[in-house]
Amino acid sequence: MTYIPSLDMSTFVDIILLAFLLLSALAVVIMRHLFSVVMVGGVYSLLSAAFFVNLDAVDVAFTEAAVGAGVSTVLMLGALMLTARREKPVTSQHSRLPLLAVLVTGAALIYATFDMPAFGDPGSPANSYVGMDYMERTPHEIDVPNVVTAVLASYRGFDTLGEVVVVFAAGLGVLVLLGMGFTGGTAPGKDEEDQA
Amino acid sequence: MTPHLVLRVVTKTLIHPIILFAFYVQFHGDFGPGGGFQAGILFAVAFILYGLIFGLDMLKKVISPRAVQVLMALGVLLYAGVGYATLWMGGAYLDYDVLVPNDTHNAGQHYGILAVELGVGITVAAVMIGLFYAFAGRNVEISDEDW
Amino acid sequence: MSAEFVLGHYNYWIVVVLMMVGLYTVMSRGNLIKKLVGLNIFQTSVFLLYISIGKVKGATAPIEAAGEGVLYSNPLPHVLILTAIVVGVATMAVGLAIIVRIREAYGTIEEDEILAIDHKLEFGEGVNA
């Protein structure tokens, strides 16, 4: 049974969302006011969350909406307060070589997509073996309805432990770099390195 | 007269539903979309929102930077601890089935997933609040004319 | 190139273009914050690619409450990307922290100005870069 892609409502929404994603990404490149760049970056994240809902990845959409559009925008704005508001204009000389490199890489990647199975194909290699195996085994091995949670916490528990350690290490790294400003109840607003 | 009166009032009414929703997402993650990662973020967002509107000094009274640092490590330890508990009870590392032996309804798996997700949630929430402390704690007060 | 082929590969092409927009921003812009936003776009485009691959046409979200005989999308890419998003924001925060420290040390976050300062420190005044 061969799979033939067709245009239905979900695919239509998909096409529109991708067009908006492309527009906001281009806006990020063109704009020089960093506040607007960060805000459009948040819009880009929210759009990709909508895209994930349309593609049945509800857990991912949830995370992206909370992280990408929420926390990461707040962090970016916090960093902007400490750095700069505007970007220096870029000379066309500087952008010619990157443009060439990007065009060549992009052409190679698009050429590579010609061999990929069609979007939404139930019989594609990625959707045939291990992923669907989890769907079949979860009801009697783990017995929780949300298969994503079952795979995340049980089948791939080791993997998730590693990810949590990475999040922890990244948090530690930021604390080492910036300090919490006022740890240990000493004078507020005093930087750690001032005391060192 | 404190500035941003509307913002303060609206924030106060928003924080409770956000935290309640975070708990729902944390403990209902096996049945619907959600889990430790999302719940941790939501939980942190409630604190960050409070810090943004009421200032860092007020946030410090709610959750001290020291507590955040302890919680960061506690989540990872809880996750890894579940692994050691299963080892100690005679299973493989993170093999939740041994938590409730001879059970036909996979109760061990359910408890294991619940504990592990709680560890994830604690670490993610604490790290996100810590990140906010780190960036905002370095800051001068934001004035309205600054933008 | 038939209409079916375009419909079946449209997602991948847009993802590649987004990826290249991000890569271009990282390579061509000198502002470090802008570079990081570009890196973010690149990263999200990889997420979009993974989720696109896991989509099954006419299927529903992989939560087994819909009953028997329902088609589900592939849950494995969802798991991989879910954790990657949270790790992504944590590592981005490390990048931002480094940028904040660079700004404190150099007084600028433009790459060429930082290089000029470094050059001056190493070879002294008067020597052109």
Instruction: For chain B, say whether A78 makes contact (Cβ under 8 Å).
Output: yes
Chain C residues within an 8 Å CB radius of B36: none
C41 falls within a domain: yes
What's the pLDDT at C1? Answer: 67
Run of H or E residues at B25: helix B5-27
Angle at the Cα of A135 from the Cα atoms of A130 and A141, rounded to 5 degrees: 100
Cβ C66 vs Cβ A147: under 8 Å: no
CB proximity list for A175: less than 8 A, separation 6 or greater: B69, B130, B134
- Residue A1 pLDDT grade (very low, low, confident, very high; cuts 50, 70, 90): low
**Contact predicate C67/C94, CB 8 Å:** no
Cross-strand bridge partners of residue A97:
none
Whether B135 sits inside 8 A of C90 (CB atoms) is: no
Gap between the Cα atoms of A11 and C59, Å rounded? 12
Say which of C29, C55, C100 has its CB closest to residue A87.
Answer: C29
Amino acid at C36: L
**Number of Cβ atoms within 10 Å of the Cβ of C41:** 26
Average pLDDT, chain C: 88
**B19 contact partners, CB below 8 Å, separation of at least 6:** B43, B46
Residue B68 pLDDT exceeds 90: yes
Please give the residue that has the higher pLDDT: either B146 or A6.
A6
- A178, B53, C60 from A182: Cα distances, Å: 11, 19, 49
B75-97 pLDDT tens trace? 999 999 999 999 998 888 888 88
Q: Could you give the domains of chain A?
A: 10-87 (1.20.120.1200)
Contacts of B9 by beta carbon, 8 Å cutoff, 6+ apart: none
Quote the radius of gyration of chain A (alpha carbons, Å).
22
Q: Does A136 touch chain C (CB under 8 A)?
A: no
Residue C95 reports pLDDT greater than 80: yes
What is the per-residue pLDDT for C122? 86
Instruction: Tell whether B131 is within 8 A of chain C (Cβ).
Output: yes
Report yes or no: B28 at the C interface, CB cutoff 8 Å: no
ipTM of the complex: 0.89
pLDDT category at A182 given cuts 50, 70, 90 is: low
Smallest Cα–Cα separation from B29: which of A24, A145, A31?
A: A145
Q: Tokens representing B124?
A: 């993610």
Instruction: Tell if the CB–CB gap between B135 and C97 is shorter than 8 Å.
Output: yes
Residue C92: inside a domain, yes or no?
Answer: yes
Please report whether residue C58 resides in a domain: yes
* Number of C-beta neighbours around residue C129 at 10 A: 9
pLDDT digits (tens, 9 = 90+) for A102-113: 999 999 999 999
Q: Strand, coil or helix: what is C4?
A: helix
User: What is the C-alpha separation between A8 and A4, in angstroms, rounded?
Assistant: 12
Percent of chain C with pLDDT over 90: 45
For residues B3 and B16, what is the distance between their CA atoms, to the nearest angstrom? 22
Report yes or no: B120 at the A interface, CB cutoff 8 Å: yes
Name the residue of chain B whose CA is nearest to A154's CA.
Answer: B113
Question: pTM here?
Answer: 0.88
> What is the CATH number for C11?
1.10.287.3510
Q: Is C93's Cβ below 8 Å from some Cβ in B?
A: yes
Longest CA–CA separation in chain A, Å? 72
Cβ distance A182 to B128 less than 8 Å, yes or no, reads: no
**Domain residues for C8?**
3-123
For residue A135, CA distances in Å to A123, A143, C31 come to 15, 11, 46
The pLDDT tens digits for A108-151 are 999 999 988 888 888 888 888 888 888 888 888 888 888 899 89
CB count in 10 Å sphere of residue B79: 26
Please give the pLDDT value at position A194: 46
Backbone phi and psi for residue A7, each to the nearest 5 degrees, phi listed first: -90, 105
pLDDT for A192: 45
- Given a cut of 50, whether residue A187 has pLDDT beyond it is no
User: For chain B, which residues make up each domain, given as ranges?
Assistant: 5-141
Distance from CA of A100 to the nearest CA of B (A): 36
Give the residue on A whose Cα is nearest the Cα of C12: A113
User: How far is B56 from chain A, CA to nearest CA, in Å?
Assistant: 10
Crossing angle for the helix pair C75-106 and A130-141, nearest 10 degrees? 110
* Whole-number Å distance between alpha carbons of C109 and C34: 10
Question: Please, which chains are in contact with B (at least 3 CB pairs closer than 8 A)?
Answer: A, C
Is the Cβ of C61 closer than 8 Å to some Cβ of chain B?
A: yes
Mutation for testing the C interface, residue in B28, B37, B48 having most C CBs under 10 Å: B37
Lowest mean pLDDT among A43-57, A143-157, B62-76: A143-157
Q: Does B133 contact chain A (CB < 8 Å)?
A: yes
| Chain B residues touching C78 at Cβ < 8 A | none
C83: in domain: yes
Q: Which residue has the tokens 């916490």?
A: A153
Digit-coded pLDDT (tens) for C47-69:
999 999 998 888 888 888 766 77
Confidence at residue B124, expressed as pLDDT on a 0 to 100 scale: 94
Read off φ and ψ for residue C31, nearest 5 degrees. -75, 125
Residue B55: per-residue pLDDT: 86
Query: How many Cα atoms occupy the beta-carbon half-sphere of B141 within 13 Å?
Result: 6
Residues of B numbered 111-130 whose beta carbons fall under 8 angstroms of chain C's beta carbons: which are they?
A: 124, 127
Q: Is residue C128 part of a domain?
A: no
Domain count, chain C: 1
What is the C-alpha to C-alpha distance for residues A90 and A95, in angstroms, rounded to an integer?
7
Contact between chains at C96 and A75 (C-beta distance less than 8 A): yes
In a domain, C108, yes or no: yes
Of C48 and C2, which is predicted with more confidence? C48
